[in-house]
Amino acid sequence: MTTPLKARGVTVSLDGRPVLRGVDLDVAAGEFVALLGANGSGKSTLVRAAIGLVPMSAGSVELFGTPLAHFKDRTRLGYVPQRSRAVAGVPATVQEVVMSGRLSHRRFFGRRSRADTVAVAAAIERVGLAGRTRSSLSDLSGGQQQRVLIARALASEAELLVMDEPTAGVDHDNQESLAELLGGLVHDGASVLLVAHELGPLRPLIDRAVVVRDGSIAYHGPVDDLIGEDHAHVHTHDAIPSLPVGLTGEGVWR
């Protein structure tokens, strides 16, 4: 099986300021990787560069063994943006927004298929919004809107889910059902790259944590070595030499 995500030496400058400095990141098939780090450390920029939303000044990204520039098989990729402007200028229902997650399955001018309708209904059900399918997005709370965006990513039935703080603003119960859902998907062979500040109920699922600091990888390894639920101590016995300064103490990725 090919590696869903393989990034090497990713370097990004925004507005002439270096934001990522030669970052390597892998996500193996069936792996659940959490990307952690302080505000502004470059987590979003890293995932956005990895899926082609931010141009890189150096480095390479391969998705499922294909260089990013030639990657056409978009059905294999699902994305939940951070704090998306979910509500646009014209009303749209939950169903319509989630349906746009199926676009990569559709042909040009193609009609929606039965599979599209089924996948969309299933995705909405999975985020617990089955009763709100026909509600306008603007009538939902912030956390519910966030769950709609998760459903949109799920609807594509992707093999690699890239989620940028999907649980921000989502209550504990719904985080738990999301954890259960993602656990099931990973068990079935999907891979997840998740950006988060608080892992919460997702913690047990995580195979590997990667900590970004100032545009470089400061730590990667088992999440258990990051002691404490919310504030982090990084215990580095092995691979990673020094304890990244500033990672101890109070909640770096709070």
Q: Give the binding site for ligand ATP (CB under 6 A).
A: 14-15, 19, 37, 39-45, 82
Task: Tell me how far, at minimum, the Cβ of 76 lies from Mg ion, in Å.
Answer: 23
Residue (89 or 241) nearer to other proteins, CB: 89
Residue (56 or 129) nearer to ligand ATP, CB: 56
Q: List the single partner that 100 binds among Mg ion, ligand ATP, other proteins, none, CB under 5 to 8 Å by kind.
A: other proteins
Task: Tell me how far, at minimum, the Cβ of 168 lies from ligand ATP, in Å.
Answer: 9
Nearest residue to 233 via CA among 215, 220, 246? 246
The answer to whether residue 17 forms part of the interface with other proteins (CB under 8 A) is no
What does the DSSP assignment read for the chain?
Answer: ---SEEEEEEEEEETTEEEEEEEEEEE-TT-EEEEE--TTSSHHHHHHHHTTSS--SEEEEEETTEEGGG---GGGEEEE-TT-----SS--BHHHHHHGGGGGGSPTTPPPPHHHHHHHHHHHHHTT-GGGTTSBGGGS-HHHHHHHHHHHHHHTT-SEEEEESTTTT--HHHHHHHHHHHHHHHHTT-EEEEE-S--GGGGGG-SEEEEEETTEEEEEE-GGGEESSSS-EE--SSSS-SPPTTSSSS-TT-
Options 101, 215, 221, 244; binder of other proteins; rule CB under 8 A: 101
Q: 172-187 and 142-155 are packed helices; what angle lies between their axes, rounded to 10 degrees?
A: 10
Q: How far is CA 252 from the centre of its chain?
A: 20
The answer to whether residue 85 forms part of the interface with other proteins (CB under 8 A) is yes
Q: Rg of the Cα trace of the chain?
A: 18
The answer to whether residue 133 forms part of the interface with Mg ion (CB under 5 A) is no
Q: Show the binding pattern over residues 17-56: x = contacts Mg ion (CB under 5 A), - = does not.
A: ---------------------------x------------
Task: Tell me how far, at minimum, the Cβ of 41 lies from Mg ion, in Å.
Answer: 9
The answer to whether residue 90 forms part of the interface with other proteins (CB under 8 A) is yes
Q: Show the binding pattern over residues 44-73: x = contacts other proteins (CB under 8 A), - = does not.
A: ----x--xxx------------------x-
Contacts with Mg ion in 103-132 (CB under 5 A)? Answer: none
Report the distance separating Cα 247 and Cα 214, nearest Å: 12
The answer to whether residue 106 forms part of the interface with other proteins (CB under 8 A) is yes
Task: Tell me how far, at minimum, the Cβ of 39 lies from ligand ATP, in Å.
Answer: 4
Kindly list the residues in this chain that would bind other proteins in the complex (CB under 8 A). 48, 51-53, 72, 74, 77, 79, 81, 84-86, 88-93, 95-97, 99-101, 103-104, 106, 108-109, 112, 134-136, 139, 152, 156
Kindly list the residues in this chain that would bind Mg ion in the complex (CB under 5 A). 44, 82
